[in-house]
Chains A and B, each alone.
Chain A
Amino acid sequence: MIHVENLTKYYDDLLAVDHINFDVRKGEIFGFLGPNGAGKTTTVRMLSCLTKITEGEAYINGYSVKKDKKMVKKSIGVVQDTANLYGDLTVKQNLKFIAELYGVDKKRVNEIIKEFELPADRKFEKLSFGFKKRATLAAAVLHNPPVLFLDEPTVGLDVRSSYAIQKLILRLNKEGHTIFLTTHNMQIAEKLSHRIAIINKGKIVAIGNKYQLKTLLKKKIKIEVEISNIQKQITSELQTFSPRIEGNKVIFFAEDVHEFLEQFYQITKKYNIKTKSINTVLPSIEDVFLEVTK
């Protein structure tokens, strides 16, 4: 559904996206992750005809983003990182305007208002942030596009609103929309995406489903240790196990648990550190992300 070949973007001398290649299959939710400034938004903007492509080519629904812009625009719905509907218009006026731009029957406006449970006559600027996001999503699907680009759809939302948007994304996917999801939230990416690509410094550094991505970790076993007091020595002396402090726990990664435990036991004994608990857990996408974007 989306085919990207050597896609490149320069802003003057700055290389923002560096010859990236990937495919998004019909009907999948494709998570697109990366640290700030990695090139996520630039990629989405190029694919949605908002930024010119410097080099390479991209095809959406079979149409060239460079040559068939109008057909590409008919095939996509875009939710940007800001809730960008018109503040002084009501939700209904906003959706009616979008429907007019896309040549969509106005009956669809009422349908979508019902479907997304939106307050039709409330001015957009008066809506809560959660409803603003929901209305923006409604505007993106009004013309029923096969592909949806969602750039940080849950950012800034409280847990309940974020959950509601996630449910909507899953529902839209079930209804047949292919979804290109850009997010900073690893849990959401892991939960919703069929496949994930990680971009770093303009390059795709990992791509695959969550199981494939986790095999990229050289040290595949994640060990969570809770100790009486976290001391410098425990992280410095066990540096080979990539320690990371998370609250009152220290996270380690190991290929061989026995080897880790042996060394860990010696250190705790040496510095008189009491161990409260040790657990081995499966690594998450967040762990993969931290590894590949080092």
Chain B
Amino acid sequence: MKKAYYIAKKDFFEYFIKPPTLSWGITFPIAFALSFLIRGKDLFFLAPGLITLASFFGTTSMASAAIVFERRMKEFERMIVAPLDYWEIVLGKMIGSFLFGMLTSIVTILFIIPLLGMYSLNLGTLGIALVLSSLVFAAFGVYISMMINDPRNVMVILNSVRFPMMFLSGVFIPLNTYPFMLQIIAYALPLTYEIELLRWVLTNNSFLNPFITIFGSIIWILLFFVLSIWALKRRY
């Protein structure tokens, strides 16, 4: 556990607290949210999806950038030749990306809450939702980055997964208006659970039961964590 913390700490100083990364982590979610909110329609419905999407894109990009860059420069192999368990490497990489995801989410929320006047939020449940979603996205980003063979292709692969998810997870259209087959697909996507969980926290009007979304999030975290370890073992 300690070694996972050391890896996360190293990533934090090496990648995350750099002016370009921080400014991207702050400006991207704001610009992203603004581009939709400026139209002023269905703001209460859109807000949970936009906050989650900002975190989704920020966290997965950061996870993949940190891992892919290290794989290309062979820095990643430093951890492989060290006497570490693979789960320590995966967890360390997840924690670093998770912290960045939290930053992105918090920035977006701080920007959106005053716009929508959502001042009576339960900070406890909001915190749980943000932690869970950032962990799911961090684990997802780590898994994709570990799985691909050629690190140069990571953004292509990541985007070919992220963009369809964006349109199928109920960000822009309520899940209950989807045709049955699309609803089935939506339930198989991690993003759906995180959007629905935040929708419940922010508007108390989610399509999925909040306990299902919490349970689903935990399952996604565990699944991507185990798959990342498997991907590492397969490679080394």
Give chain A's interface residues, CB within 8 Å of chain B.
48-52, 70-71, 73-74, 76, 78, 80, 82, 84-89, 93, 97-98, 100-102, 139
Contact = CB atoms under 8 A, between A and B. Distances in A.
B73 A84 contact: yes
A102 B83 contact: yes
18 contacts: A49-B81, A50-B77, A50-B236, A51-B236, A70-B85, A78-B81, A80-B74, A82-B73, A82-B74, A84-B73, A85-B75, A85-B78, A87-B73, A97-B10, A98-B78, A100-B2, A101-B79, A101-B83
Given A50-B81, A70-B83, 16 more contacts: A49-B80, A50-B80, A51-B236, A73-B81, A80-B74, A80-B77, A82-B74, A88-B14, A89-B10, A93-B10, A101-B6, A101-B79, A101-B82, A101-B83, A101-B84, A102-B82
A85 B10 CA distance: 12
Nearest to A74: B83
B13 interface: yes
A70 B82 CA distance: 8
A88 B79 contact: no
Interface string B61-99: 000000000000111011111111100000000000000
A52 B23 CA distance: 41
B3 interface: yes
Contacts of A84: 73-75, 77-78
A72 to B, nearest CB: 9
A90 to B, nearest CB: 10
Nearest to B2: A100
Nearest to A88: B14
A52 B236 CA distance: 6
Contacts of A93: 10, 13
Contact of B6 (A76, A100, A139): A100
A69 to B, nearest CB: 8
B18 interface: yes
B75 A86 contact: yes
B13 A89 contact: yes
Contacts of B74: 80, 82, 84
A50 B236 CA distance: 6
Interface residues of B, number: 22
Nearest to A102: B82
Nearest to B10: A97
A80 B83 CA distance: 17
Contacts of A86: 10, 14, 75
Contacts of A70: 83, 85
With most chain A CB atoms within 10 A of its CB, the pick from B2, B3, B18, B81 is B81
A220 to B, nearest CB: 42
Contacts of A50: 77, 80-81, 236
B114 to A, nearest CB: 35
A73 B75 contact: no
Given A52-B236, A100-B6, A73 B18 contact: no
B125 to A, nearest CB: 36
A48 B80 CA distance: 9
A189 to B, nearest CB: 23
Nearest to A82: B74
Given A88-B13, A100-B3, A48 B81 contact: yes
A76 B79 CA distance: 13
Nearest to B92: A101
A93 B2 CA distance: 17
A118 B82 CA distance: 22
Contacts of B85: 70
B24 to A, nearest CB: 16
A194 B236 CA distance: 31
A196 to B, nearest CB: 24
Contacts of B80: 49-50
Nearest to A101: B82
Given A50-B236, A82-B73, A84-B73, A76 B14 contact: no
A99 to B, nearest CB: 9
Contacts of B78: 84-85, 98, 101, 139
A71 B77 CA distance: 17
Contacts of B75: 84-86
